[in-house]
Structure 1
Amino acid sequence: MHIPDRTDASDLKDATEAISKNKRYVPIEFQQVVRNKNTFDFTEYDIMILSQLVQGILQKTSLLT
């Protein structure tokens, strides 16, 4: 069984420094969890379609191919 390294003191120091500079501090462990939960694989085509939808451009398929 692997016990993860404790970084409490280091995290506290980093958080204190960030807050003193009016910045937000999010521990690495939290960043990784959020990153893993919000992972989507979009192709360039997907991004193009979504961008056009956001702009209000309707997507019409042509029957003539």
Structure 2
Amino acid sequence: MNEERMNLLIGEIVAINEEIEEFSAEGLNVSELVTERNRLIVTVDRYLMVHTVKAAPGATGTAQASL
């Protein structure tokens, strides 16, 4: 994943958060939206962790293989 894709995922997370707020205010079930949002958050989080490891002094870049 590149930075552009990560930014798109973050935008999707924001949009889903807005839908969750709107739909839950109307009393609708938002469990599927919450599940999708959480999946996207995990994806972005993993991307950031891998890049943090790669940027660390002495990093070998092997963390990406575990994803």
With normalisation by structure 1, the TM-score equals 0.34
Larger Rg: 1
Larger relative contact order (CA 8 Å, sep ≥ 6): 2
With normalisation by structure 2, the TM-score equals 0.33
